[in-house]
Structure 1
Amino acid sequence: MEYYIGAWKKFAEFSGRARRKEYWMFVLINVIVSAVLGFVDGLLGMMLLANLYSLAVLIPSLAIGARRLHDTGRSGWWQLLWLVPVVGWIVIIVFLVQDSHDENDYGANPKMA
């Protein structure tokens, strides 16, 4: 839960680096929260809560994604690959699961901190 809250504290910080664990825990909790809200929306017969949550989490998701890509030595602009169906998704997921690089242009390795 600390990674999820930590990502919200740095919700618009696109500089720096984020570890794999930090990124994937944020994604996991987002999936769980979205599923629960989607279920509640289904029970209530509306699609308001899940849509509002998705809108609220858009900027933090982009920010932590950029920091994760920085950790692998890539620019955050690589996230635009999400717009390319299938091939782009595969490439960006491969980038996101790669291990941290040592010191790079985006700062020191967060594993060492």
Structure 2
Amino acid sequence: MSWYIAVLKKYLVFNGRARRKEYWMFVLFNSIIGVILSFIDQVTGTVNLESGLGVLGSIYTLAVLLPSLAVAVRRLHDTGRSGWWLFILLLPIIGVLVLLFFFLSDSESEANAYGENPKAQAV
């Protein structure tokens, strides 16, 4: 849970680097919270049947949009890539696969243009 809170504390920090663990723990907790809110939306009947979106889930998604983008950019920085690579998502299927590969890649072991290696700092 501390990894999730750490990302939220860096709400608008788009510079620096984010370890693989920081990114994927944030994704994990986001997914768990999303499933719980979806269930609550279903039980309370606050889901729009046409769009499939629930009120609580939508509010949560909007609340974590910027931290999600920020940690994704920092994760790309950790692999030595610019945050502009997020725009590859505009390419259907291929963009998702390329970005997934980048997010799964290991950190650059040394300092890069975006800062010191966070793994080295954590040890």
* Equivalent position amino acid for 1:32 in 2: I
Out of 58, 75, 79, the position equivalent to 1:51 is 58
Distance in 2, matches of 1:84 and 1:8, equals 28
Partner in structure 2 of residue 95 of structure 1: 102
State the distance in 1 between where 2:66 and 2:97 align. 22
Gaps of 5+ in 2: 47-53
- In the alignment, is residue 12 of structure 1 matched against residue 12 of structure 2? yes
Structure 1 residue 15 displacement after superposition: 0.2
- Equivalent-residue separation in structure 2 for 1:42 and 1:31 (angstroms): 16
The normalised TM-score by structure 1 is 0.98
Q: Which residue of 1 aligns with 2:40?
A: 40
Identity among equivalent pairs (%):
53
* C-alpha distance in 1 between matches for 2:59 and 2:92: 24
The alpha carbon displacement at 1:103 in A equals 1.1
Cα deviation for residue 78 of structure 1 reads: 0.7
Render the CA deviation track for 1:54-90: whole Å, top value 9, x for unaligned.
Answer: 0001000000000000000001111112232211000
Structure 1 residue ranges (4+ consecutive) displaced by more than 4 angstroms after TM superposition:
none
Distance in 2, matches of 1:62 and 1:112, equals 24
In structure 2, the partner of 1:63 is 70
Give the partner amino acid of 1:37: L
Choose 1 or 2 for highest CA Rg: 2
